[in-house]
Amino acid sequence: MTQKPLTLGDWIQSATEQLQRAGVDSARLDAQVLAAHGFGQDRSWVLAHPEAEITSDLDSILARRVNREPLAYIVGSREFYGRRFFVDHDVLVPRQETEFVVERALLWMRDDSLPWSVLDVGTGSGCIGITLALEKPDAQVTLLDKSANALRVASKNADALGARVDFVHSDLFTYLPKSMYRMVVSNPPYVAHSDDLPPEVREFEPADALFAEAQGTAFYRRLAADCYHRTLCDVLIVEIGQGQSDAVESIFGEYGWVLADALADLSGIVRTLTFTPDSAIFK
């Protein structure tokens, strides 16, 4: 008797069950996305063709997700602010909460009385800086990272999305050409080594971009000190971790920064802090 061909609908059901057993919360959605990637189609096509026969090797990519490798690394991209960014294991997976940094930056950048020069510190995939460059084409945006591999990813994204940006390979401001930036933005390492993280994050994302000493606040101290003296910026916007708001505000206050605003998500968790130097006059 001829064996009945495996259909896409059957494969998604089986994949969903395997992912559920592996502890993946979004098991069915992930199965659909993996199937779409394997077929070279989008998810809507997969949903519309459950009868399609499986002709490619979907099980190998399923095994990676069962092992809790992030979905973005498997399919090679993640959407951020309505655009698709290439990602690999050398950069963090862009997250929705990081879009708050972009939102806050664009709000300040409505004041176009002077040209905007923006420095994205620890750019990773480039999602923040490239998005700002595309949303504000007149801005001069520089992407800085200490990882040459991260800058490779950011450069690939800038080319693919048509963004005009500059690149600097430097550990914070060590090799940054002397320059003044009107705005500095950063999604720095802010996770404490003791924090409980899902395996997708702890086992697969780059540790240097995740973890910081002093319960996750060490990089903020470096940024607060160096940025005040080296960039002379008007606005400094940082992403922070849950529960870090008071500690980070205190650190920046020690170095002459004044909290301008704090932006919380829909759950009331403060995600973004904006600082100005105490001497700045900003409407």
Mean pLDDT, rounded, for 263-270: 90
Distance between alpha carbon 264 and the CA centroid of its chain, in Å? 17
Least confident piece of the model among 90-99, 110-119, 210-219:
110-119
Mean pLDDT, rounded, for 68-90: 97
The answer on pLDDT for 283 being more than 60 is no
Query: What is the predicted pLDDT for the residue at 55?
Result: 78
Q: Where residue 3 falls among pLDDT bands split at 50, 70, 90?
A: low
Half-sphere exposure of 43 (CA within 13 A, CB side): 9
CA distance 202 to 180: 36
Q: Are 217 and 189 in contact (CB under 8 A)?
A: no
DSSP letters, 78-142, are EEETTEEEE--TTSPPP-GGGHHHHHHHHHHTT--SS--EEEEET-TT-HHHHHHHHHSTTSEEE
Cβ neighbors of 256 (< 8 A, separation 6 or more) are 228, 277, 278, 279
Query: What is the predicted pLDDT for the residue at 281?
Result: 38
**Each residue's pLDDT tens digit, 228-248:** 777 778 899 999 999 999 999
Distance between alpha carbon 148 and the CA centroid of its chain, in Å? 17
CA distance 126 to 122: 9
**Each residue's pLDDT tens digit, 157-185:** 999 999 999 999 999 888 887 778 899 99
| Percent of the chain residues topping a pLDDT of 70 | 96
Token readout for 163 is 């963004």
Query: What is the predicted pLDDT for the residue at 113?
Result: 81
Query: What is the predicted pLDDT for the residue at 6?
Result: 86
CA distance 179 to 167: 14
CA distance 155 to 125: 8
**What is the H or E stretch that residue 277 is in?**
strand 270-277
